[in-house]
Amino acid sequence: MTGYPTSIGSSDESSIHLLGQDLAQDLLGQVGFAELAFWLVALRRPTPAELRVFEAVLVALADHGLTPSAIAARLTLTGAPESVQGALAAGLLGGGSRYLGVTEDAGRFLTAAVAAYDRTGADRPTTEDGWDEVARAAIRGQRAGGRYVPGLGHPEHKLGDPRTPVLMRIAVEEGLFGPHLQLFAAVGRVHPELLGRRLPLNGAGACGAALCDLGFPVGILRGFALLARTAGLLGHLAEELRRPIAQALSDDVRRATDYQPPGTSGV
């Protein structure tokens, strides 16, 4: 069997190593959980500034009420109470392209636009006007390809996602308002002139921009959204154990079922 390289962890009879540290001696009680999550993916310990932005992103994405994924987790626990892991997994499985994908899509869009700009050899803009130009080019590129502009719009927060300005302010406070957040803010400024209507910059997109400015590759962004959501789902499962609603919901659905035998429904 070939050797399987890993930099995450290993253990032997007397010690457990994680990220090159001794778990018991160097990490327990000295490293926070979110700090460890950052470290596990980036393979470097975050600075206090990076950690504050990172935790704000996780908190922003942790929960959004009785979402489809929270409902799915609760329904699953009802059928398989012996398996909390199954209920949690069912909830996470709904965290795909449509709901949690925005964070990743926005990160991908912003990263590509910044990379395209860098390939021109020009220095990065130092003014909002400069970033506005980059944003116009990026938006035009999306539209030319028939693609939507990720990070714009929210089904509920039509006048503005309350998370976006706060996340941006925190990044500024910590000196981490980097190129991806700069560009994202510029998209918010210039899109009306190109799209003909004003849409809010949503929080999921802002989180994607902030994670890119923290140096994470876009391929893992959805993973952080899922980690955040895991905490929210735990809250829902703990509540379901205390005061269940899934059975009542299932009964309501059964009562509201409009059974249309095949051929009678035009389907």
For residues 66-125, which are near its own copies according to CB under 8 A?
Answer: 66-72, 75-76, 78-90, 92-100
CA dihedral 111, 162, 193, 185 (to 10 degrees): -40
257 binds its own copies (CB under 8 A): yes
Q: Which amino acid would we find at residue 27?
A: L
Helix (H, G, I), strand (E, B) or coil at 9: strand
Instruction: Specify the residue, 166 or 195, whose C-beta has the smaller distance to its own copies.
Output: 166
Minimum CB–partner distance for residue 206 and its own copies (Å) = 11
DSSP state of 199: -
Minimum CB–partner distance for residue 180 and its own copies (Å) = 18
CA angle 250, 253, 256 (to 5 degrees): 155
Minimum CB–partner distance for residue 52 and its own copies (Å) = 6
Instruction: Specify the residue, 141 or 165, whose C-beta has the smaller distance to its own copies.
Output: 165
DSSP state of 124: P
Minimum CB–partner distance for residue 88 and its own copies (Å) = 6
Rounded CA gap, 262 and 79, in Å? 28
Give the containing element (helix H, strand E) for 143.
helix 128-144
Among 121, 145, 146, 263, binds its own copies (CB under 8 A): 263
148 binds its own copies (CB under 8 A): no
Among 116, 122, 172, 253, binds its own copies (CB under 8 A): 253
Report yes or no: 73 and 236 within 8 Å, Cβ to Cβ.
yes
Among 134, 186, 214, 237, binds its own copies (CB under 8 A): 237
Minimum CB–partner distance for residue 151 and its own copies (Å) = 17
Tokens 């003014």 — which residue?
127
Strand order in the sheet with 9-11: 9-11, 16-18, 21-22
For residues 7-26, which are near its own copies according to CB under 8 A?
Answer: 7-20, 22-25
180 binds its own copies (CB under 8 A): no
Q: How many residues bind its own copies (CB under 8 A)?
A: 132
